[in-house]
Structure 1
Amino acid sequence: MSTIERIRNRRIAKRDARAIDRAWKSAPTQSMRDEIAILSQQRMF
């Protein structure tokens, strides 16, 4: 894997992590937060 690809993948992973964090913080119920947490743990970063 080239350096450019590693940088790109790291940037995408950070962007995805920020999106998940925003979704978790804006979830109206605890059950939705739990579901977001489970789905985000299953993702491959």
Structure 2
Amino acid sequence: GEAHDQTFRVQCIMDDLSLHTEAEGKSRRMAEQLAAQLALEKLPEAGS
């Protein structure tokens, strides 16, 4: 049933950088890792 078809939605918020990402996954870990990856891709390059 529904308990076996869960979707997890997480947000990664970095107020200091005005950065906010959101991701969904079939597990909490998958959603967390995707949100973190999206946040990393949005971060400005180090030293720029």
TM-score by length of 2: 0.39
Greater percentage in helix? 1
Greater percentage in strand? 2
